[in-house]
Structure 1
Amino acid sequence: MNNFDVLLEKGRNFHGEVCPGIVIGTRIAMAGMKELGMNPGERNRDLMVYVEIDRCMADAVQAVTGITMGHRTLKYKDYGKFAATFLDLSTGKAVRVSAAENKREPPKPGEKNDNNRPDMKKMVEALSKVPEEELLLIEEVKVDIGEHDIPGFPKFKTHCEECGDRVLDRREVIVDGRTLCKACAEGSYYQKI
């Protein structure tokens, strides 16, 4: 097995299957780490990654890189894009790797299955073999990371004056002079029953 196959298998094991998103995510993670001079086979304590979608690609990036939300090295930005930014915390160097959608052609008529949907097996095979420069766009970027976003123990804690919950890392909101959590200030995604 080559390095890609080993890393793709990590993505498969983490996600539960290999699909086009796992292939692209694996390729994105490999490219981002290569650009930073990091090895996916080693723990990279200085690596932080921002993923821009909450789909299969993000699982592959997490599996290949070893970054996690719990270690505060995986950040999620809800942009709906097959892209991730890789940041070396020790040097500040960062690269954004995205799927070069404008370079890819839609599936040809023969590449669809009986349900008139793209043939996933053929897509996985094709995405695994396409040259990196045709599949990915790699750009050097600058990431401004605040002191309350870096890994490590919380530097600031407070409590919401409405619900009493503890709020870490400067995620509180001040409304009319009151310290509130975002759920109380902006509305929550859940309702208590």
Structure 2
Amino acid sequence: MSNYETLFEKAKASHGHVCPGIVLGTRLSIAGLRELGIDPEKPIHNLIVYMEIDRCGTDAVQAITGCSLGHRSLKHKDFGKFAATFVNTDTGKAVRVSIHEKNRAEHDKLDIKEVIKLLAKIPEDEILKIEKVQITIPKEDQPGFPVGKAVCSKCGEQISDNRHIVKDGNVLCRNCAGGSYYTVIE
């Protein structure tokens, strides 16, 4: 079984089914890890990945790299792009890999099974764009114990990793400062 097939099976098992996103996430992971000199078939402890989308490919990246939100080694940047930046935390070397289908219009005419087969075999330079990048990871975004804890003066909830806001001398969480994604109804 090739490196691709082994890693694809791992991603498929984690995600629960096969779809184009799992194929692309597998290809993205293989390229990113290769560019950083990291062997995906060995335990990975020196990697942070920034995903720019919250779709199926993210599950493939998580399954293959072992990076996760809970370990603070998988970061979500909601840009809506099928792209990921892989950062070797030992060397500081970083690479951004994005999907760049040169023949996307043709692929859209195929049925899903044909697309999955095609995306697995298409030459890498026809589907991926790989860029060496520089990234600075703030201390409060790195894995490990929380950095800087505060308590919101309005709701009383704890805020970790310097995510609080000081407004008119009061420590506030982002929700209470007016940036909430929800509205309390009771």
Unaligned runs of 5+ in 1: 112-118
> Which residue is equivalent to 2:76?
76
What is the rounded CA distance, in whole Å, between the counterparts of 2:127 and 2:96 in structure 1? 14
**Corresponding residue of 2:9:** 9
- 2:103 maps to amino acid: R
Q: Deviations over 1:91-121 (max 9, x none)?
A: 11000000013x123136862xxxxxxx111
* Matching residue's letter, 2:104: E
Task: Pick the aligned partner of 1:180 from 161, 164, 172.
Answer: 172
What is the identity, as a one-letter code, of the residue corresponding to 2:42? E
- Give the secondary structure class of the aligned counterpart of 2:106: coil
- 3-state SS of paired residue (1:106): helix
- Deviation string, structure 1 residues 130-155 (Cα, Å, up to 9, x no partner): 01111100000001111111111112
TM-score under structure 2 length normalisation: 0.95
Mark the runs of 5 or more structure 2 residues left unpaired by the alignment: none
**Alignment partner of 1:141 out of 133, 143, 146:** 133
How many residue pairs end up in the alignment?
185
Is the partner of 2:18 in helix, strand or coil?
coil
Tell me the distance in 1 between the aligned counterparts of 2:127 and 2:139.
34
Aligned-pair identity in percent equals 51
Distance (Å, rounded) in 1 between the aligned partners of 2:38 and 2:169: 46
Tell me, in whole angstroms, the C-alpha distance in 1 between the residues paired with 2:49 and 2:176: 29
Distance 1:38 1:164, change over 3 A: same
Q: Structure 1 residue aligned with 2:114, among 97, 112, 122? A: 122
User: In the alignment, is residue 63 of structure 1 matched against residue 55 of structure 2?
Assistant: no
Equivalent in the alignment of 1:26: 26
Asked whether the 8 Å contact 2:107–2:115 carries over to 1, the reply is no
For the aligned residue pairs, the C-alpha RMSD in angstroms reads 1.3
Structure 2 CA distance for aligned equivalents of residues 4 and 109 of structure 1: 23
Aligned to 2:104, the other structure's residue is in SS state coil
| Residues in 2 aligned to 1:99 and 1:158: alpha-carbon distance in whole angstroms | 39
Measured after TM superposition, the shift of residue 11 of structure 1 is 1.0
Scaled by the length of structure 1, the TM-score of the pair is 0.92
Structure 2 residue 145 is the aligned partner of structure 1 residue 150: no
| CA apart distance, 1:80 | 0.2
Hey, what does 2:45 align to over in structure 1? 45
